[in-house]
């Protein structure tokens, strides 16, 4: 398994500002992902964080809005830019460790409220 630490755990933000969420894993992982969970909804994949290169974004998500970095195997950041109330969500970092089943481990999430 893996222990995943996300910061901040929650924040209240003003419209138009940007916030960066950090994800630190206690062991080397093969893959890192960022998910969004909107209120009362399921999880939606935002992007795959690639080490040392640009993230791979899912349909509907763009780099200008959600820039992602992954400078090494155990750390990644997600920035939510120019926030609006529609960005109020829980943002989750998830990782895949070396396995053959495809299961992911999740951080506790960062709950953002945009006023």
Partner 1 sequence: GDSVTQMEGPVTLSEEAFLTINCTYTATGYPSLFWYVQYPGEGLQLLLKATKADDKGSNKGFEATYRKETTSFHLEKGSVQVSDSAVYFCALSDRFYTGANSKLTFGKGITLSVRP
Among 45, 51, 88, 113, binds partner 1 (CB under 8 A): 45
d(CA 40, CA 68): 25
Q: Using the rule CB under 8 A, is 31 a contact of partner 1?
A: yes
Two tokens, residue 5: 């630490």
In the complex, the smallest distance separating the C-beta of residue 91 from partner 1, rounded to whole angstroms, is 12
- Whole-angstrom distance, CA of residue 44 vs CA of residue 99: 22
Number of residues counted as binding partner 1 (CB under 8 A): 22
Q: Which two tokens stand for residue 49?
A: 């964080």
Q: Does 106 bind partner 1 (CB under 8 A)?
A: yes
Cβ(19)–Cβ(112) under 8 Å? Answer: yes
**Residues within the interface to partner 1 (CB under 8 A):** 31, 33, 41-45, 48, 56, 92, 94, 96, 100-109
């Amino acid at each position: 398994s893996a222990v995943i630490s996300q910061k901040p755990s929650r924040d209240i933000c003003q419209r138009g500002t940007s916030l960066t969420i950090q994800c630190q894993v206690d062991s080397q992982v093969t893959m890192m992902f960022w998910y969004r969970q909107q209120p009362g909804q399921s999880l939606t994949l935002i992007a795959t964080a690639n080490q040392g290169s640009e993230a791979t974004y899912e349909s509907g998500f763009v780099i200008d809005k959600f820039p992602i970095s992954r400078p090494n195997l155990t750390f990644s950041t997600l920035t939510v830019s120019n926030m609006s109330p529609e960005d109020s969500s829980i943002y989750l970092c998830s990782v895949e460790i070396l396995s053959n089943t495809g299961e992911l481990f999740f951080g506790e999430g960062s709950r953002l409220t945009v006023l």
